[in-house]
Structure 1
């Protein structure tokens, strides 16, 4: 038995190579992210005031300014010492605030006024402010004004360095976030590019696409949270759009993944949640872009929706786990279990960061500017790793299942007349379906007029009728898991997973093919009665019971045909 098909795992080898490359870059990155030595912290020695009321502390880190609302103004001022720098540049972080920087009452930098005057969201930003060469002894005054309720809290740390070094220093401090963000976004794009293969050749399997989308959104959120989009593009508005869009759509992508791995009623529930999320986000985008509403105004509504969906998903995971745990064939290490574990860990770590963020913003003296998403970042990496492992297990399990089915097919018997599976083989496959508890459809078919043809035209014509009908079935159900002859004039077709969803359409195709054969046949005419049943119609039952249900429906159709013929004979008489 061949368990590992190397041609199908080229993608996974490339992914592993990418992971190894990223880790290697992480360990040698000190060589590339080593800033110059002329970097100075400028957090002490300030005169600090809020709305004209001075603060006793001269440190930015423990000033304890509290929450800054719209219209509140924080003033920071101090004399500049000799940094012994040729081209000094300071960096400070602002959160939804107007920033005006003066050197001896001369305005040297301003940010946010154009957004605020046009009633748009003032973005977060790392402000790079050149002090010029003639700075010694001059008074540096920074005015920071809130632009909305609870704009920010605390004061940002301020660092001064050479213009050529300060950017390197900033990037060095966010090195791990850059590498993780790059890794997640590149991996996400790679998986999404590979996903059409799964959609086309593996029954519309979308789990690889949503795995890539989750990874991409996680990486994009990490990048934009730390202002790296603005750093690359010099576009704070784009950074804000990426931050909020990725944050709002991460739950949507996770719901989409659940939708791709679920079946039956759960699939419908997740599909409805997915569509609702997409429509809500498009509505928010419309009001933000067209109606000029501020995007943060929708945050409570979207967070409430995400919380509701998190509760729904958690309940579904717990109920599914409890149900599977009672199954005697329960496997702890399975594709869905690995993903569920990764999602639970990611959720818990994200909740930790949410509490840390709110505590830092509302209760800590350092304020919001010192917040990080370290736990979220670690959870994002674990979640994406769980997705990769889950997908690998899914591929291996399907490969093993296909190999098992192939082995059963080779061991089973073949009907000598039609070349189809005989009754023994059909029963073996049904036993396998019962054990695997897969989703499937069984179609029971009865070839009409076989006895009449045998009695009037001879058994050789009856054999030709049987073999011709077998050919029609084989051609119509090329992708079926099983096409077999149960005996006499009785036939069976078994379709699993996504193939089972279009049974009615396939029956119409069968009748169309029968009609085409009848136009060419001059001795007799092909006709058949059918009945089909889905596995979910007989919960906790065997495939034999599903077949019996399909068979009973076939006989109902056969009786209807016979009744119609009797009525037609009486009418003609």
Structure 2
């Protein structure tokens, strides 16, 4: 025999593996060589044959990617020289410069320069994808590139220099970064959708701050991925702005992450998150103050922020484990909480994010050295790194968490309503009962009218025809009341043959119209059925008829009028 409960528990945890498998397949397909543009074969890195002049040190006929710069000093200059063969007009060089100025000479003539204006003021030199068109005749030409470092130990190796047609270089860049573009676009689009959901809920007077924080954090991650992979600086000419976007988004990731955890578990880990959030707010402010006053530039704090983020994750982890245990215990003991374990997915996403961050820090030196060397390589994951994968899977887990948590809340509310319905509903007639009427009277405000109704001859039917016939009589009469008193705010059975109807913000004309409709429905039933004869005694009153307008006094007046009709019926 199969244990169905264990099978159902297993199904709960298949959502994330299936989603990860789907995304992995998408990345495999999207990152395969079938999506690589043919222009990659038309460009080539200028690797070999370089001569490097560094002070009195001269090295000839070397591979530029193999040259180790090591410790560099601010203001130090390195000259690289090579010969290139220009085959046709429109030939172009493309290379990335970062924290250094660069001057390009062709046949000893300066044809391009970048960063000198920043060097003169001693300010931070942003990174830039330099695209230099060689407007010269075909043939062999002497290429000189002069690098001046603006920071101590800014780079360890030279960025590769690529040669080809401008259109081919641009296509190759986008092809090479297609996975990062896909992930960044996914995160930004996801954040826009979640933000739109938050706006909609806000307009419906349901302000869930967790949704807003999740949208901001996903957008922050998407922007960082675009900036880190040079997408912004490649398509725009505001290199300083986009470099600052990269550093700012990276330095704000710990703050966004801690605020997201706080919005989800604001009660259980409040003190820890407050301290962590304060650190994550103060630290970027201090960094920017140092950068603005040109004391220490913003690029020097990358490793410190990365380590700080890991430390904070380890601080939060025990609290998340405790919350998970408490959640599962409450989930098991509650009669209202149903559905899947949403909390487990948030925990899994947190673990994935932490592991991927550790792997990123551990492999960072090799990644930084080689991330741009093989731009024409057509294999999968040419630019993706562990941190990007961690960001992607964490947001996926957060989405599953929020989706399942919403489903659980909907299911819990539905069960709660059903339980409340059982507590406030008359089981036989399915009208509201005395408890529901008392609760309604407790919130009654403004003008109102009360109708007191007594079903005649119920005792006679019970005594002479049996209680089953009496039950049928009550059910039929309740159906008539629902039909006749449709505009009423509540219809309740308060005793064996006693019923109360309440109109809020209504008038005597509507009340009398409903009473007449009830009389017509009763007459119609009596004409078509002969099992028993229905009749009812009715009295109604409004709050303006009694001094003070208390519902108890209004009910007493309506009840007195009902008994006068009942006496007439029995007389």
TM-score by length of 1: 0.64
The question of 1:337 aligning with 2:310 is answered no
Contact 2:176 2:383 in 1 (8 A): no
Contact 1:95 1:369 in 2 (8 A): no
Rounded to whole Å, the distance in 2 between the matches of 1:373 and 1:36 is 18
C-alpha displacement of 1:382: 0.8
Match of 1:248 in 2: 251
Pick aligned residue for 2:358 from 351, 354, 379: 351
Contact 2:342 2:404 in 1 (8 A): yes
Pick aligned residue for 1:172 from 170, 175, 194: 175
TM-score by length of 2: 0.64
Matches within 5 A, 1:73-472: 73-82=77-86, 84-134=87-137, 136-199=139-202, 201=204, 203-267=206-270, 269-271=272-274, 273-274=276-277, 276-282=279-285, 284-285=287-288, 288-289=291-292, 294-299=297-302, 302-303=305-306, 305-324=308-327, 329=332, 334-359=341-366, 373-413=384-424, 422=435, 469=442, 471=444
Match of 2:64 in 1: 60
Rounded to whole Å, the distance in 2 between the matches of 1:53 and 1:220 is 42
C-alpha displacement of 1:112: 1.2
Deviations 1:267-297, CA, capped at 9 Å, x for gaps: 3543454355335434544554577863235
Rounded to whole Å, the distance in 1 between the matches of 2:234 and 2:441 is 70
C-alpha displacement of 1:412: 1.4
Rounded to whole Å, the distance in 2 between the matches of 1:227 and 1:421 is 69
Pick aligned residue for 2:76 from 72, 77, 95: 72
C-alpha displacement of 1:81: 2.2
Deviations 1:351-384, CA, capped at 9 Å, x for gaps: 21222123556xx6x6997895521122221111
Secondary structure at 2:140's aligned position in 1?
coil
Unmatched segments (≥5 aa) in structure 2? 1-18, 375-381, 449-542, 553-571
Secondary structure at 2:68's aligned position in 1?
coil
Q: Of the two, which has the highest radius of gyration? A: 2
Contact 2:339 2:408 in 1 (8 A): no
Rounded to whole Å, the distance in 1 between the matches of 2:42 and 2:28 is 29
Contact 1:55 1:63 in 2 (8 A): no
Deviations 1:533-556, CA, capped at 9 Å, x for gaps: xxxxxxxxxxxxxxxxxxxxxxxx
Per the alignment, do residues 524 and 342 of structure 1 end up closer, same or farther by CA in structure 2, a change over 3 Å counting?
closer
Per the alignment, do residues 198 and 268 of structure 1 end up closer, same or farther by CA in structure 2, a change over 3 Å counting?
farther
Aligned residues: 423
Per the alignment, do residues 332 and 151 of structure 1 end up closer, same or farther by CA in structure 2, a change over 3 Å counting?
farther
Pick aligned residue for 1:49 from 44, 47, 53: 53
C-alpha displacement of 1:237: 0.8
C-alpha displacement of 1:72: 2.8
Contact 2:123 2:294 in 1 (8 A): no
Secondary structure at 1:149's aligned position in 2?
coil
RMSD: 4.1
